[in-house]
Structure 1
Amino acid sequence: MAWLARSLGDSQPVARFQRRCGLFPAPEPRGEEYVVKNYFYYYLFRISSAMGQEVFYITFFPFTYWIINPFLARRMVIIWTLVMYIGQVSKDLLKWPRPFTPPVVKLEKRTTAEYGMPSTHAMAATAISFTFVVTTVNQYKYSFGLGMMGALLFSTMVGLSRIYTGMHTVLDVIVGSLIAAILTALIFPAWDVIDHLLLTGPWCPVVCIIVPLLLCYNYPKLDHYSPTRADTTTILGAGAGSVIGVWITAFYTDHSTDVVAHSIPSITGRMLWVIFEKILVGIGVLLVVRQLIKSVTLKALCSLYKVSINDLEGIQQIEIEVPYKFITYTSIGFSATVLVPLLYKFLGLN
């Protein structure tokens, strides 16, 4: 193979062929210098790309649950969990590398060790935005066409941002969007049944713990470390915690009000102030829970398995990484759906 590379005068085509065939793992992250010539596009697409990261999910989903409608939040969390799991597993089964550097420059470093096909950013953006529209169009009085245009714009911007940042090819984004659109369309007729099971199924909490953990512990194995398993555990944990919280809340709340059609209320100064207070309190609680549970769980597991808390490779082993991620984000999902609403009642923010 080395002789062939020398005879061709360029090793890049051979290396590219080897990686595409799975002979080598995903390329290692490399620092690359770049010059920003258009700051408008740079910030537009960097912000759009952030719409598929933890900072967006940990604020948007709770905001929807606390401020807009729990009925809507439940549906978006479920579809998000499903498409993200399928997307993450597909990456590690297909093992298609991300775009090579050069010619592209990767603006994000954390996920460069992951494979590329399909784009989970594109999948999540498509599933969330279109689920938002089809769920709310019969509850709130607004133009369906305008809502679909907004969903298309949001998903397109997130998809383009992944190409701009050098993290995905056009094919990665298109395939990711198509998978999410198909799954959303297939699940739509069954939403009422799924929602009923989430609220009333007697075994719902048990299933929401056992099934995600089985999926995490049986995640596809790679010959090198990739953050996809950790991210998948985070997603499944957050989804499980949210569903368990919703199930518990259902015993004390009349969810029939979720599906009543509403007019979009007039925005007042008082309303904006209450929303600000609720967001400040809610996000503050989630951040405290995240830091506290993460610290306690990680220290306990490291002590159990005799691993230093500063040993990054030790923490990445499945016996530590899966339970600490799952417990941490299950606690966040549960806090967002149970603890924070109870705190709102106590503070008179309802």
Structure 2
Amino acid sequence: AGWARKLKMWGFISYLNSPELVASFQRCCGLVPRETCSYGSRNGLVHSNGSGKDVPVTIHRRKAEQVLDAFLCVQEHPGPHYEVRNWLFYFLFLTSATLGHEVFYITFLPCIHWNLDPFLCRRLVNVWVVMYIGQVMKDILKLPRPPSPPVVKLETRVDAEYGMPSTHAMAATAISFTLLLSAQERVKFPFELGLIVAVVLSALVCLSRLYTGMHSALDVICGVVISAVIMAVSYPYWGTIDYLQLHNPLSPVVGVVLPLFLSYKYPELDHYSTTRGDTTVILACCSGCSVGYWVNERLGLTFDLAGPFPVTLPPLTLVALGLGVVRFLVGLGMLVLTRQTVRWASLRVLCRINGASVSDVEARRRKEIEVPYKFSTYVAIGLVNSILVNRVYVMMGLWDLGNSV
């Protein structure tokens, strides 16, 4: 009976990890391979997920002519190798997928800081580091993404990464529910409505990873469970972590040294993957923001909401909405300017030190160049976000210190 249960459980896990399950979900949502081009069926080639480049793997073929026919078919029918039969699901899930990309968090999290409450942004930035755990697990477990065929792939940049767990699912779950739990301490709102929004947003991001063909159902479920466990274990200590981050004199040292150490000690692979660079970006943003919040506390101007908590937010008027949009555009412009300036300077300094050309893409992927240039760039972004932007708002008359909304 024990062996039977284990076999049944293993069969269920295999089913959740099956690419056919992902392909079935895609077909149910109206995303199917193009029949005219046989990319997903006739050419007999799949991409080896987890490799640094596209390596064709020949699947049993009896005649070499079939491979040649497939090649000619691809040449005859360029463009997307899939057909969209339900555009509502297509745009819904592609939009949802962007909610799990770093570019969203690098705009969404500062927007929370600039327009609502730096306290909430600090909580979200701290929990964002779950991405490091997920990325490291990917490169240690080295489990491949769903193969194509039968799955249709809509993203190519991260296809060389491994699949288990889904860091999109991890980040979406952690960000959504951390914001829900932290916001109830600070502002008054219907908790049930917030819970519904958190569940819907995280579910859409999770389902988008199946729709885009980047993860199996097992990858997504594991990502959600890992985030839930991390949040459950750390939740009792959120207040302590926040206090130490703001008041401990060693906080800025730890906030820089630890993320930089973790970036350099990221697991080495036998091929290049975007995981190390993306993880360095996340750690560097967290590092810069952490130091910035500590500095604000020393300067005595944190721009936090004024208590007693939870506060009642003022009504969202057209004037308040307009000010929020202007603050967002000004702040985003400052972050983009910071990114371009520091990236330009750091790349040239590091390439000169290492005897490499700035235009050499392969050289920029070397750890001794990639890690420090990305770390310095995004630490600067974190510092500008947490220290300078709000002060510029005050100078421009875009910020009422008594009311951040």
Same-fold status (TM-score > 0.5): yes
1:106 aligned to 133, 136, 153, which one?
A: 153
Alignment of 1:76-91 (within 5 A): 76-81=124-129, 83-91=130-138
Which one-letter code corresponds to 2:279 in the other structure?
Answer: T
Distance 2:397 2:192 in 1: 38
Which one-letter code corresponds to 1:64 in the other structure?
Answer: I
Identity rate of aligned residues, in percent?
46
Distance 1:264 1:113 in 2: 45
Residue 297 (structure 2) pairs with residue 253 (structure 1): no
User: Which secondary structure does the structure 2 equivalent of 1:125 belong to?
Assistant: helix
The residue number in structure 2 matching 1:345 is 394
Distance 1:337 1:140 in 2: 21
1:284 is displaced (CA, Å) by: 0.6
Residue 72 (structure 2) pairs with residue 46 (structure 1): no
User: Which secondary structure does the structure 2 equivalent of 1:295 belong to?
Assistant: helix
Distance 1:78 1:146 in 2: 24
Distance 2:212 2:53 in 1: 17
1:67 is displaced (CA, Å) by: 0.6
1:260 is displaced (CA, Å) by: 2.3
Residue 199 (structure 2) pairs with residue 173 (structure 1): no
User: Which secondary structure does the structure 1 equivalent of 2:311 belong to?
Assistant: coil
For structure 1, which runs of at least 5 residues remain unmatched after alignment?
1-11
Bigger CA radius of gyration: 2
Query: 8 Å contact 2:117–2:305 — kept in the other structure?
Result: no
Distance 2:97 2:372 in 1: 28
- Cα distance change, pair 114–48 in 1 and its aligned pair in 2 (3 A): same
The residue number in structure 2 matching 1:329 is 378
Query: 8 Å contact 2:52–2:272 — kept in the other structure?
Result: no
Query: 8 Å contact 1:301–1:324 — kept in the other structure?
Result: yes
Distance 1:298 1:229 in 2: 17
Which one-letter code corresponds to 1:165 in the other structure?
Answer: T
Distance 2:199 2:260 in 1: 34
TM-score (norm 1): 0.91
- C-alpha RMSD over aligned residues: 2.3
Aligned length: 334
Distance 1:100 1:27 in 2: 14
2:108 aligned to 60, 66, 85, which one?
A: 60
2:243 aligned to 196, 201, 204, which one?
A: 196
TM-score (norm 2): 0.79
1:143 is displaced (CA, Å) by: 2.0
For structure 2, which runs of at least 5 residues remain unmatched after alignment?
1-43, 57-78, 400-405
The residue number in structure 2 matching 1:304 is 353
Query: 8 Å contact 1:92–1:220 — kept in the other structure?
Result: yes
The residue number in structure 2 matching 1:6 is none
More helix per residue: 1
Which one-letter code corresponds to 1:60 in the other structure?
Answer: F
Distance 1:40 1:244 in 2: 43
Distance 1:334 1:28 in 2: 38
Query: 8 Å contact 2:110–2:385 — kept in the other structure?
Result: yes
1:268 is displaced (CA, Å) by: 1.0
The residue number in structure 1 matching 2:69 is none
